[in-house]
Amino acid sequence: MKDVYTLGDLQGWKEATADEEFPIRLGVLGDPVAQSLSPPMQNAGLEATGIGARYARFQISPNELEDALGLLRRLEFIGVNLTAPHKLAAFALVDEVEEQARKIGAINTIVFPDGRSLGYNTDGPGFLHAVHEQFSVDLRDLRVLLLGAGGGAGRALAWQCALENCERLVLVSRTFGKAQALVRELAGYFSGPRVLGPEARLEAVRWENTILRTQLARTDLVIHATPLGLNRTDPSPLPPALIAPHLMFYDLIPKKAPTRLLADAAAAGARGANGLTMLLHQGALAFELWFDHPAPLAAMRAALT
């Protein structure tokens, strides 16, 4: 199997995959995609369950997405995952979207049953499992500050926090207007009876250190959902001086080596977790959508670690 396939490969799929032992019927579409850990994880799941199909990476640019999805459907793929930057655009390109994904406005999983395309979002539910596994706490009991609320993953996690009705949610986005718009969408979920004193249960704040310092004093869990940290030379999204030991950090970057943020959190005595557990659980939920069969979690986890 090639490390990465292209739209050109899909156009000549029979020739491109002539030497494969098992047919490639699943994959992840992204731009870039070479870094994706989904293929080893999903292929370990397919092998462990004896399913005679394989999962591959597809380098697809935004202007190729519609053609790629049409081809995948015609080639009778079982389904695909979508990674950045396709989660919002793919939403508009599928036949039907499941209810939670419709609210979020983004999908990360497609199932192709009988020539149709159905969109789902397993990022939020996967994150819910990951937080419980990593910190032995439930999202609904936490005061959450979300850095990077404007992206596809950030939106999905903000919605999950709202659906769980977490104690408090503070949305931070480089583009402030995106966080403000999301607050308007989620306001109805935070108007309930929980009372925390005078502070708002849901608000958008500007990405400025003085504001963040005040907010972090009233936060339990910091979620980091920007791409900062994918490259080793990336700066941290938060200055170390703002990190207090009472905080928990969930950094979505799915890497074993600690990001600057997680290294700074550890140095400050705060608990931290990388995005591998979310990758595992969102992938397991996608597997279950494709096969209507419990995902072999242990095999998929072993492939990631």
Q: Hey, which residues are catalytic here?
A: 87
According to the binding rule CB under 6 A, does residue 282 interact with ligand NAP? yes
Residues 152-181 that bind ligand NAP (CB under 6 A): 152-154, 173-175, 178
Full DSSP string of the chain: --S-EEHHHHHTHHHHTTT-SS-EEEEEEESS-TT--HHHHHHHHHHHTT-S-EEEEEE--GGGHHHHHHHHHHTT--EEEE-TTSHHHHHTTSSEE-HHHHHHT--SEEE-GGG--EEE--HHHHHHHHHHHHHS--GGG-EEEEETTTSHHHHHHHHHHHHHT-SEEEEE-SSHHHHHHHHHHHGGGG-SS---SSS-SEEEE-S-HHHHHHHHTT-SEEEE-SSTTSSTTPPPSS-GGG--TT-EEEE----SSPPHHHHHHHHTT-EEE-THHHHHHHHHHHHHHHHSS---HHHHHHHH-
- Choices 62-70, 72-80, 134-142, 275-283 (CB under 6 A): range interacting with ligand NAP: 275-283
First-last CA distance in the chain? 21
Count interface residues toward ligand NAP (CB under 6 A): 26
C-alpha 135/C-alpha 133 separation (Å) is 6
**CB of 165 within 8 A of CB of 141?**
no
According to the binding rule CB under 6 A, does residue 42 interact with ligand NAP? no
- Tell the smallest beta-carbon distance from residue 226 to ligand NAP (Å): 4
Which strands form 54-59's sheet, in the order they lie side by side? 5-6, 54-59, 24-30, 79-82, 109-111, 118-120, 96-97
- Residue nearer to ligand NAP on the CB measure, 9 or 276: 276
- Tell the smallest beta-carbon distance from residue 31 to ligand NAP (Å): 10
- Residue nearer to ligand NAP on the CB measure, 51 or 278: 278
- Choices 19-27, 68-76, 196-204, 248-256 (CB under 6 A): range interacting with ligand NAP: 248-256
The CB-side HSE value for 145 (13 A sphere, CA atoms) comes to 23
According to the binding rule CB under 6 A, does residue 125 interact with ligand NAP? no
Backbone angles phi, psi at 178, to 5 degrees: -70, -40
Q: Which of 41, 97, 221, 253 binds ligand NAP (CB under 6 A)?
A: 253
- Tell the smallest beta-carbon distance from residue 303 to ligand NAP (Å): 14
Q: Which of 25, 54, 87, 143 binds ligand NAP (CB under 6 A)?
A: 87
Q: Which of 28, 33, 107, 225 binds ligand NAP (CB under 6 A)?
A: 225
- Tell the smallest beta-carbon distance from residue 140 to ligand NAP (Å): 21
Q: Which of 131, 142, 248, 252 binds ligand NAP (CB under 6 A)?
A: 252
Q: Which of 59, 226, 236, 259 binds ligand NAP (CB under 6 A)?
A: 226
Residue nearest to ligand NAP (CB): 151
- Tell the smallest beta-carbon distance from residue 79 to ligand NAP (Å): 17
Q: Which of 278, 285, 295, 303 binds ligand NAP (CB under 6 A)?
A: 278
- Residue nearer to ligand NAP on the CB measure, 17 or 282: 282
Q: Which residues bind ligand NAP (CB under 6 A)?
A: 84-85, 87, 123, 148, 150-154, 173-175, 178, 225-228, 230, 252-254, 275, 278-279, 282
